[in-house]
Amino acid sequence: MRNKEKGIYSRDFGMMVLFSGLCFGELTWITFHNAYDFGFLLKILTQHSLQPNLKSFMRHLT
């Protein structure tokens, strides 16, 4: 409920991340359980549903 009241739309967050430069260049991302982290990030940045299988998902990450 708190996120709904005080959070931002995922579309707006995605645009901020894209324009910040965090997704481009020589950047190393370090995560824990990275499939979930990158899946969520990919969904936000593309504004599309996740891929139906792991092979398609990995292809979209590269």
Domain ranges of the chain: 2-61
If pLDDT is split at 50, 70 and 90, which confidence band does 58 have?
Answer: confident
User: Can you give the pLDDT at residue 13?
Assistant: 86
13-54 pLDDT, tens digit per residue, is 888 888 888 777 787 878 777 777 888 888 888 888 888 888
User: Can you give the pLDDT at residue 30?
Assistant: 80
Three-state SS for the chain is CHHHHHCCCHHHHHHHHHHHCCCCCCCCCCCCCHHHHHHHHHHHHHCCCCCCCHHHHHHHHC
Does the pTM of the predicted model rise above 0.85?
no
